Amino acid sequence: MSALSGLRLTVHCPFCGFADTRVVDSRLADEGEAVKRRRECPSCSQRFTTYERAELGYPMVVKADGRREAFNAEKLQRGLTRALSKRPVATERVDAALRDIERQIRASGEREIAARTIGELVMRALGDLDPVAYVRFASVYRRFEDVDAFSAEIARLKAKDDKADAGDPVQES
């Protein structure tokens, strides 16, 4: 028998601190990755939303210099957001890309993942979302030193796009 059995866990109201709120509505969110619950406080009648997610461990990220750090989803989001700044890409598409990248990282089942692997996942996602954002990210990620490096990446992107338009299978490099 669990130490928590018989213990009733409650969510406190963020407005008045009342110790027992009630669930008004529950539904799946984030493509089934979370449960979204609308709650109401019987004391102050305020409503608020909570999310329930599985807490899954991410692998440690191994940097190019050999350092290891915990995976940081916010850092991933900042990188994508910075690359997509002022680009016409719907927030829903960006969120879906982030979830997909995180899902691929978790699905690897590894205890460690190279930062380079994460960078390649981001590059692939940006390539599908927006070519300008892709080049922006690539310029930093691949450390373009001059205009020739930009030109070469743009030429590679155009060749990939031309092959896709012609119906040829596209080879990733």
Write the pLDDT tens digit of every residue in 142-163: 777 778 877 888 888 788 777 7
Say if 5 falls within a structural domain: no
Domain boundary among 36, 53, 70: 53
Cα separation, 18 vs 10, in Å, equals 10
Provide the residue type at 146 as one letter. Answer: D
What range defines the domain where residue 43 resides?
Answer: 22-53
Say if 16 falls within a structural domain: no
Which of these, 44, 155, 57, lies nearest to 113 by C-alpha position? Answer: 57
Q: Are residues 49 and 120 in the same domain?
A: no
Give the tokens for residue 3: 């130490």
Q: Are residues 26 and 77 in the same domain?
A: no
How many domains are there within the chain?
A: 2
- pTM value surpassing 0.75: no
Q: Are residues 72 and 156 in the same domain?
A: yes
Q: Are residues 48 and 95 in the same domain?
A: no
pLDDT in tens, 44-95: 999 999 999 877 778 999 999 999 999 999 999 999 999 999 999 999 999 9
Which of these, 28, 75, 76, lies nearest to 54 by C-alpha position? Answer: 28
